[in-house]
Amino acid sequence: MRPRSGFLLPTLLILTPALLFLMVNEKGLVKVFRLHHELDQIEHSVQALSKENKALSDEIDRLENDAGHLERLVRQEYGYVHKNDVVLTFK
């Protein structure tokens, strides 16, 4: 009794190339997985850039509205002093 084995081989011969084609063609599974991975990377980059953008916006706000912050920054970065400050130089 071999009625099923005669059906199995032709089915495999037809389905195997069809499945391979579906996996590797330009719209196949391999490309779908690659695109999902690329999407994840882009979403991660967007999140990181959003955090950086928020931090920069906060810094701009502080520079525009907080004179004390601006003064501290100018003193630290550029070495500015007040008119009555005493500057000590060590050699």
In this predicted model, what pLDDT tens digit does every residue of 18-74 receive, in sequence order? 877 777 777 777 788 889 999 999 999 999 999 999 999 999 999 999 999 998 998
In a domain, 1, yes or no: no
- The domain containing residue 70 runs over which residues? 7-78
- The residue ranking higher by pLDDT, 77 or 25, is 77
In a domain, 61, yes or no: yes
Number of domains in the chain: 1
In a domain, 41, yes or no: yes
Is residue 2's pLDDT more than 60?
Answer: no
Please state, in angstroms and rounded to a whole number, the distance separating the CA atoms of residues 65 and 74: 15
In a domain, 85, yes or no: no
Q: What six digits make up the tokens of 70?
A: 């601006």
Confidence of residue 4 (pLDDT cuts 50, 70, 90): low
Give the distance, in angstroms, between the CA of residue 90 and the centroid of all CA atoms in the same chain.
Answer: 47
Give the pTM.
0.56
In a domain, 88, yes or no: no
